[in-house]
Structure formats: C-alpha cells, structure tokens
Chain A
C-alpha cells in the first residue's frame, strides 16, 4: 500500500449557491510534487483553504498522514507540518526580513540562533538580501521567495504554494521552478497552484485540473494538453 500524506475524500464546499468544491476525491503521496491548475473560480484556492482550515467544508474529510484533521484549528495543522504560501504575497511589509523569518521559525529555536537560522533560510532560497532590510522594500520576486521561505522555516512536511510565480518575469519564474524542484528533492511534498503554464512546464510534475469545483483530469502535462475536456474548459466549446 502506498503511503499518502494527504487524502481528501468526498469534499464539498458551497458559498451560497455556488459549488466551490463539489464532491472532490484527491490524494497526494509522500515526496510528491503536484500541480493544480484550472480556470478562475475552479476552486483551487478554496481547496488550499480547506486543507489549512481557514474555510470549513460542507461535507467530506481531509486526512493528513491518515488522521482526520477536520477538528484541528489552523495553527495546529501548521504545527503538524502543513506550510502555506498564500496567493497574495503575505509577508509583513512594514517589518524587517529578520522579523518576518523570526515569527515563522518554530518556538524551539533558541533566541540567540535566530540570526543564523534566518541567514540559513535566505541562503537556501538563494536570496541576496539583508536580514535588516525592510521586507516591503524588496522586489516583487524577492517578496514571493521570502514568503516561500517563511513557509519553509517551520520545516513543513507538506508545502502548499498558491501561485508562487504571480507577477514574476520569465527568469525569476525559471529560478522559482528550480527552487521548488530542489525543495522537493530534499523530501518536502509540494502542492502548487499555478496559472503560468511556462512554470508548470518547467516543474515537469503530474497535474490535476480543477474545473467548477470538480476534478476534470489528472495526468502528465502531455496527457492534459491532449485532453479535449480541458481544452473546452479553458477555451470554451466553440
């Protein structure tokens, strides 16, 4: 039997009459790197929010390492190993890079080691910024990376990345893909939501396509590109 880090069973979530997630079954293996794509309003971000616990589903269950985490509040889910980088760059703009990383590090890190731990994370990201810089003064791409770094600081087992390359140039996009791949090779299971097909192509990872709250297709990039349902979903029937 294969070990799943994340299993989603019969998950449904409605916003008023809109079915954001409609009876979805979905599972992720340990050490997997998976992309989730889909047109706007497909339910991708809602799926992440349900996994993280900030949105409550109407029915269904989310299993992390085989345990139902429905009753766990967000902070407990994060502490148990789910790291997240939101869609909007959510760093603390008015605080220093050091402060940003500092609040991301787990509590057991000694106060005196904070600077060196922070520097380690910057090095791991290949981020050439100073710890004393104000986070708001970083470039757009660097903010995105810092935001990934903050999710990484907690050493998550499962990393959820919601549009990590939004607003990035092509060079930065390729570098981000390299970063994601290298994190994955270090043993972090990663789920990526992305619109940028160049980035998805670069990741060379299996893809799940969501449309109107349902899973439309799963497979490699080639399979997905050939799939007529996916083409219709993106481009319309005509």
Chain B
C-alpha cells in the first residue's frame, strides 16, 4: 500500500505545474541527460571547467524561479545567499581543512548560514506583510550592504580565524595570502574524494546535484504545497481567506530558495577556490533575474535551461568585449516585448499547439 502511495507521489514529477509532461519532453530530457553524462568524454579540460561553472549557476536560477515564479516573491538580492554560502563555506573551510581533512562542516555551515539569514529576513518581511517591490528593494539593499562591508575588509585586521577577508580582492589567492578556500572534500572512513574545479568528479557532482534538485523541485511544485504556492502568487489575500497560513508558506519557500542559492555559492567557491564581494553586487543580483525572466519564470524547466544557456551566452559576450550587460539588456528587453511569459515557455506553447492540431 505504502509503495503505491510512493509511486503515486512520484508521478507528481510529471505534474502540470511545470512545462513538459509528455513523452516529447521526457525524450529531450533523457537526450540531455545522456549528453550531460558523456560530455566529459568529448570535451577538453577547459571546456569542462566552463561547463561545470555554468551548471553551478543553475541552483541560483532555480532558487529565484521557485520564490518568484512560483510564489510571487521577487528578490533582487538573491545573490546575497549565494555570496553568504560561498563566504561561509570558504571561511570555515580555510579554518578547518587542516585539522579535519574534509569540508563537511564547511558545507553544512555554508548551507545553514544563508538559510538562517533568509529565515530572519523573511520573518521580518513576511510577518510585516511586506510584498512586491518592497521585498525586491530590501533584498537588494541588504545584498549591497554586504558588498560594501566586505569591500573595506582589505586591512590586516580582517581575519576570521585564519581566513583573511581580503577586501575587494575577496577570499582566496587574489588577496595575496596563501590560504585559499578548499575545494569540496568528502571523506568516509579511509576514503577521501576531492572535487577540484577542473576535475571530472566535480563536473559529475554538479551535474548530479542539478539533476536531483530539478526533479525534487518538480515534485515540490506539483505537491499540494506547490499548488498553494502558486495560489499565493496569483492572489495572496484570497489564499489567506481560504485558510492557508501564507506567511509560513512564504517563509518556508524563501528559506528553501536561500538553501538552493547557497549551493551555487558553495559549488562556485569549490570550483574556483575564491570569492569576491562582487558576488553581492548589482550585476550578480540582476543576472539571475534575466536568466529566469527571459526563459520563463513560471517554469522550472525554463529557468534551468535559461540559467545554463544565458550564463553561457553572457560569458561568451564577456569574452567578446565590454558590452555583455548591454547585450543581455537587449535580450531581456526584446524577450519582455515579444514573449513576456518567457522565450522557452512561448516556444513550447507554440510547439504544443502545433502538435495538438495534427
């Protein structure tokens, strides 16, 4: 009986609250899965390094998609949690790596600290019934406060244990100290595995985590909790009048979002062994909004593809010159005009209309 229940709730993965619940979607899904699994065999080290970096962005994109696209909470400071996760992981990692030999505590703290911060901020915002643009601005302001604070930590006094905060050079090798944040190291009894940024192991770690996160979030948005989230997005007062504790739901989802964003931060630090205060800046906070808005904020699938491909495109644009943000702005503007619900969502809709006509 319980097995039937589990199977039934697993069928939520194919639910209606995300794009793609037909065989064509799953065909492409498995195609991408295979491509992802075998790409380390085809790609060079450098390409793999880049690919891993773009995958780390997916968690940030999904986190914004979840809170904004599904629950209606626009945050212009989602990168705050990425930065907090990265910095915490880095600081704890630097301090404990020699004595512990692994990064278990750093990883745990890197997730807990952003979630706790989200809990405090969320509690203050949602229980004060702050909504819409005020939440967005408040989040950006808090994020910029962190940027400003960390930028002035270049002096010799700014050490947390053995970790030097390093001002605008950030945590890691650019601030001229030898101790840099470690890559993720897991140990179990005698076995130790290290996930260096350019390694195949790191790529598979990111890929696996992204896959699991995506599927788990699909389960979440198609659960009864997910239906309530969407109801809150559509009409917050109505949803409260239907007997739902909207503040609690918003707070929970805000904390889950922070946890997801922190994963991006931890993986980023593990990937490059550094993090700078720019992470908390305007540019890094606007980027995820562009990924999610251009692709389609109301769909996890769209947000995942958007985060991956648009961050790829913006990197490519960066390599071409200084006009990356201008070009990204143009992409955002035209997608808002021609596909306000998101480019990927629009393409899928057109495609499914054609299919149903046949």
- Is B227's CB under 8 angstroms from A92's CB? no
| One of A91, A94, A103 near B227 (C-beta < 8 A) | A103
Question: Which residue of A74, A78, A94, A111 contacts B234 across the interface (Cβ within 8 Å)?
Answer: A94
| Interface contact B230-A104, CB-CB below 8 Å | no
The 4 A-B pairs of least Cβ separation, nearest first, read A78-B243, A103-B231, A92-B234, A90-B238
Q: Mark A73-86, 1 if CB is under 8 A from B, else 0.
A: 11100110000101
Q: Is B235 an interface residue (CB 8 A)?
A: yes
Q: Is the CB of B243 within 8 A of A79?
A: yes
- Measured CB to CB, the residues of A under 8 A from B are 52, 54, 73-75, 78-79, 84, 86, 90-96, 99, 102-104, 106-107, 111-112, 150, 154
- The verdict on A92 contacting B235 (CB below 8 Å), with A111-B8, A111-B224 known, is yes
Q: Which residues of B contact A154 (CB under 8 A)?
A: 242-243
Q: Is B246 an interface residue (CB 8 A)?
A: yes
B244–chain A nearest beta-carbon distance, Å? 6
- Contact check, A75 vs B234: say whether CB atoms are below 8 A apart: no
Least CB distance, A117 to chain B, in whole angstroms:
12
Residue pair B244, A103 in contact (C-beta under 8 Å): yes
**In the bound complex, how far is the Cα of B238 from the Cα of A106, in angstroms?**
15
Instruction: Report whether A75 and B246 are in contact in the complex, using a CB–CB cutoff of 8 Å.
Output: yes
Contacts known (A103-B228, A111-B9); A75 close to B235, Cβ less than 8 A: no
When distances are taken between beta carbons in the complex, the residues of chain B under 8 Å from A94 are 234
19 A-B interface contacts by CB (under 8 A): A52-B241, A54-B241, A73-B245, A75-B243, A75-B245, A78-B240, A79-B243, A90-B235, A90-B237, A92-B235, A93-B234, A94-B234, A95-B231, A103-B227, A103-B228, A103-B231, A104-B242, A111-B8, A111-B223
Whether B239 sits at the interface, judged by CB under 8 Å, is yes
Known contacts A94-B234, A95-B231; decide if A103 and B239 are in contact (CB<8 Å). yes
Q: Is the CB of A95 within 8 A of B230?
A: yes
Q: Which residues of A contact B235 (CB under 8 A)?
A: 90, 92
Which B residues are CB-close (under 8 A) to A150? 242
A84 in contact with B241 given A90-B235, A94-B234, A111-B9 (CB within 8 Å): yes
Instruction: Identify the closest chain A residue to B228 (Cβ).
Output: A103
Cβ–Cβ < 8 Å partners of A93 in chain B: 234
Considering the complex, give the chain A residue whose CB is closest to the CB of B238: A90
In angstroms, how far is the closest chain A Cβ from the Cβ of B238? 4
Distance A207 CA – B241 CA, assembled complex (angstroms):
25
Of the candidates A74, A92, A99, which one forms a contact with B241 in the assembled complex, judged by CB atoms under 8 Å apart? Answer: A74
Enumerate B1-55 residues with CB–CB distance to A below 8 Å: 8-9, 16
Q: Which B residues lie within 8 Å of A91 (CB)?
A: 238
User: How close is B7's CB to chain A, nearest CB, in angstroms?
Assistant: 11
Which chain A residues lie closer than 8 Å to B224 at the CB level?
Answer: 102, 107, 111
Nearest-neighbour CB distance to chain B for A84, whole angstroms, equals 5
Q: Are A103 and B9 in contact (CB under 8 A)?
A: no
Q: Which residue of chain A has its CB nearest to the CB of B240?
A: A74
Quote the shortest CB–CB distance from B207 to chain A (angstroms): 31
B240-265 Cβ-contact flags toward A at 8 Å (1 or 0): 11111110000000000000000000
Apart from A90-B237, A154-B243, 13 more pairs, CB < 8 Å = A52-B241, A54-B241, A75-B243, A75-B246, A86-B241, A92-B238, A93-B234, A95-B231, A99-B231, A102-B227, A103-B242, A111-B9, A111-B224
> A106 CA to B243 CA in the complex, in Å?
8
Measured CB to CB, the closest approach of chain B to A35, in angstroms, equals 21
* Closest residue on chain B to residue A95 by CB atoms: B234
How distant is the Cα of A96 from the Cα of B234 in the complex, in angstroms?
A: 12
- CA of A93 to CA of B246, assembled, Å: 19
A91 CA / B8 CA spacing, docked (Å): 28
Kindly provide the distance from the CB of A115 to the nearest chain B CB, expressed in whole angstroms.
12
In the assembled complex, which residues on chain B have CB atoms less than 8 Å from the CB atom of A99? 227, 230-231
* Residue among A54, A73, A102, A103 making CB contact with B237, cutoff 8 Å: A54
A75 / chain B contacts, CB cutoff of 8 Å:
240, 243-246
Q: In the complex, how many angstroms separate the beta carbon of A100 from the nearest chain B beta carbon?
A: 8
Question: How many angstroms from the CA of A92 to the CA of B230 in the assembled complex?
Answer: 10
Q: What is the distance, in angstroms, from A66's C-beta to the closest C-beta of chain B? A: 21
Task: Look across to chain B and name the residue whose beta carbon is closest to the beta carbon of A85.
Answer: B241
Cα of A205 to Cα of B245 in the assembled complex, Å? 34
A224 to chain B, nearest CB (A): 30
* Cα of A86 to Cα of B239 in the assembled complex, Å: 12
Which residues of chain A are near B244, meaning CB under 8 Å?
A: 75, 103
> How many Å lie between the Cα of A79 and that of B244 in the bound state?
8
Q: How far apart are B126's CB and chain A's nearest CB, in angstroms? A: 13
Closest to B248 in A: A75
For B231, give the chain A residue with the smallest CB separation: A103
Give CA–CA (A73, B223) in the complex, Å: 25
- Rounded to whole angstroms, the CA-CA distance of A78 and B237 in the bound complex is 13
B234, chain A: closest CB distance, angstroms:
4
A90: chain B residues at CB < 8 Å are: 235, 237-238, 241
A78, B223: Cα distance in complex, Å: 22
Measured CB to CB, the nearest residue on chain A to B241 is A84
Find the residue from B238, B241, B246 having the highest chain A CB count within 10 A: B241
CB distance from B289 to the nearest CB of A (A): 21
Q: A84: which B residues are within 8 A, CB to CB?
A: 241
